[in-house]
Amino acid sequence: MRPYADTNVFSRFYLRLAESEEIMGLLNKAHVQGSAPLPVTWLHRIETLNAFRLYVFAGKLGGQARVTPEQAAAAHANFRADLAQPSFLRPVQIEIAELEAQFEELALRHTASHGFRTYDLIHVASALLLACDTFWSFDPKASKLAALEGLRVR
């Protein structure tokens, strides 16, 4: 298995949220099956940091997930540490020209029919360019696009 995880998977792994146990199970199963480490792109790195901080903001507004600034900082530090010593994560680079071409192809084929957002397209384009065969996400739209492109979805 060569999985690709949407950013929302990383936020649920590093913060203890409602779906965290499900992510732990997916990661354990992938490890047992000898899965390749999860690729982490530039988009993952910036989105994950912001996701941790958004959970802090949402908690202040009375959101279900109450994440303190300290918890968000610890989650980000753990994410960065895991990237520095790859075991289940592996930093990857994708050439912007390749990503743009794959993105354009997906947008032209699917967006007018299904209303996919830019981030959905970038993540699925990245998964395809990295030759992943499985797509993990809690986003129904991104999962739908991944399935349309032949990826197995969580």
What pLDDT digit, counting tens, does each position of 33-89 carry?
A: 888 899 999 999 999 999 999 999 988 877 666 889 999 999 999 999 999 987 889
The conformation of residue 108, written as its DSSP 8-state character, comes to I
End-to-end CA, the chain: 12
One of 3.40.50.1010, 3.40.50.720, 3.30.70.890, 1.20.1740.10 is the CATH number of 3-153, namely 3.40.50.1010
Element (H, E) at 4: strand 3-5
Answer whether 0.85 is exceeded by the pTM: yes
